[in-house]
Amino acid sequence: MDQPHFARLADSMAEFIESRTGLEVGPIVRPPLLSRNQIILLGILFLISIPFMIKRIMEGETLLHDRRVWMAGALFVYFFSVSGGMYGIIRHTPMFLTDRSDPNKLVFFYQGSGMQLGAEGFAVGFLYTLVGLMIAVVTHLVVKVESLQTQRFAMLVVITIGWWAVSKVIHLDNWKTGYSIHTFWPSSWR
């Protein structure tokens, strides 16, 4: 029996015993997930809760009506998309590797364009999400501040954080691929 096939499930244990001893294992009885009384109790509780659910829906007090839930969901989808989360799921990329020279160390960033680790994607996704949040702060919060000096200071902080985050992404890309990003000047400007 292969090691991955051997599990702690009853079928695997019975197969293991049969293969080692040659004894016949009887039928394995599996009770249902919920008993008859539990299903009846859950049905009664559901019927009792229907009027309360209808009242909350009519008053707009559900999680679907809470803007913070939608904002958190949007941030999660944005982070998941810019970090390459779906790429990691499809390609089964590891989050990190062990260092070849020292097995006690972990490698979170792999130099070379042939492979990407999950930690790399999450680091870049965090930086992109940070820039997106800074833009949201500028467009939704800073414009409501009455003090012009406070607005200018907040804009300076946002620009500094944005420049830092984008420069880290560019530096990581340059380190990983070996290609440097440079500015493009039109020929008429020279």
Write the DSSP symbol of residue 98.
E
Lookup: tokens for 89 = 């799921």
Neighbours of 67 (CB within 10 A): 7
Co-location of 54 and 119 in the same domain: no
- If asked whether residues 95 and 82 sit together in one domain, one would say yes
- Within a domain: 144: yes
Are residue 82 and residue 40 in the same domain, yes or no?
no
Look up tokens 């019927």; give the residue: 47
Out of 65, 80, 108, a domain closes at: 65
- At 35 the pLDDT is 92
Residues 169, 75, single domain; the answer is yes
Cα three-residue angle 13-15-21, rounded to 5 degrees: 95
> Predicted confidence band at 123 (pLDDT cuts at 50, 70, 90)?
very high
Q: Is residue 106 helix, strand or coil?
A: strand
148 against 184, higher pLDDT: 148
Which pTM value belongs to this model?
A: 0.63
119/56 same-domain check = no
Q: What is the C-alpha separation between 128 and 85, in angstroms, rounded?
A: 14
Q: Which residue range forms the structural domain that includes residue 53? A: 30-65
Block residue for tokens 């009846």: 40
Same domain, 122 and 57: no
pLDDT tens digit string along 24-33? 888 888 888 9
Can you tell me whether residue 107 is helix, strand or coil?
Answer: strand
**Confidence class of residue 54 from pLDDT cuts 50, 70 and 90?**
very high
63 or 72, which is more confident? 72
- Write down which residue in 41, 65, 89 finishes a domain: 65
Is residue 13, in this structure, part of any structural domain at all?
A: no
